[in-house]
Amino acid sequence: MIFRRGTKKAILGAALCLMTSVLSAQNLEDLLPGLPAAARAELTEKRELVRYTEGAPAFSLLPAGPLAEELRREFQGFSPNITDEILFLMPLPEAREDGELFLYNKLRDVTGLSGIRYRSSSRDGSRVLFSDVYAVDSPKSRRRVPFVPVSAIPREERFPLHLEDANFGSGYYEAALFHQEGRTSFGLRNLTTLKYIFPVFREGRVRFRILLIPLEKELLMYGIVAAETGGLVRSMVDMPSALGKRVRALRDWFVGQVYGAGEPEGGKAAPPQ
């Protein structure tokens, strides 16, 4: 749909109001009250802030507010000994009348994870990280389910999927989406054992999640991955790097799905195609 220049500003304001809801008055200080001012300045300048923990998630970068408790609960029930947390700042996507629904359906379409690449120092270049990603009806029958967009956003949704990981091979995962007060979260939990020559992560022992929070002029993304694995594996594989790449892969997937040609350097994002 094409709008006259005079109406675009009004539509933009209405869409941002809808997306931010009660969060519109918040800033980074409100969302991250425990974060030192120097760390907030680093996030603003570098557009990224990373925290690594050799242990269970400290949630030191988790923004306060809706979905925070739901996200914490997703990391219960196992004993992670490696955690990566990352904050990203991005421009807001171009305003749309169906903004929240558009973002939600883009996250539900997990087939877009296929072909996501990462920088491989060992191979001196980039390589495909995820491939052959598709939803299934159950981990047992493993019948492929085509993507069908929803017309209304549910409070919570879960479904199994197949994913081929460049390092950990073919596996099945549970995707979980949450939505509340303008915030949307997407995450993965492995349903089958993942291997790197030998078993690395038993069922349910590696979990990823991203949380999207629209601000007044920017989009804040919180990413976290936590894993439970043995000391031998940690001595052989650079786990902070390996897991951090997968959080960034989710960020890159989101950027590709929503911004189309890629995240712009500052300013407004290009309108999605």
Question: CA-to-CA distance for 101 and 90, rounded, in angstroms?
Answer: 19
pLDDT at 121: 65
Tell me if 29 is assigned to some domain. Answer: yes
The model's pTM: 0.84
Domain annotation covers residue 2 = no
Look at the chain and report how many structural domains it folds into: 1
Q: How many CB atoms lie within 10 A of CB 143?
A: 9
In a domain, 251, yes or no: yes
pLDDT at position 9 is 41
pLDDT at site 232: 75
The predicted structure's pLDDT at residue 255:
93
Residue 124 is predicted with a pLDDT of 63
pLDDT at 122: 63
Could you list the residue range(s) of the whole structural domain that residue 109 is in? 7-259
Residue 36 lies in a domain: yes
pLDDT averaged per 10 residues in sequence order, the chain, 273 residues: 40 41 63 94 96 93 97 96 96 86 95 88 78 95 95 97 94 97 96 90 96 93 94 78 89 91 41 32
CATH of the domain at 83: 3.30.530.20
Is residue 271 in a domain? no
- Helices in the chain by DSSP H: which ranges? 5-20, 28-31, 37-46, 68-73, 99-108, 231-236, 239-259
Q: How far is CA 226 from CA 241, 244, 247, in A?
A: 12, 10, 10
Q: Quick one: pLDDT at residue 21?
A: 42
Is there a domain that residue 270 lies in? no
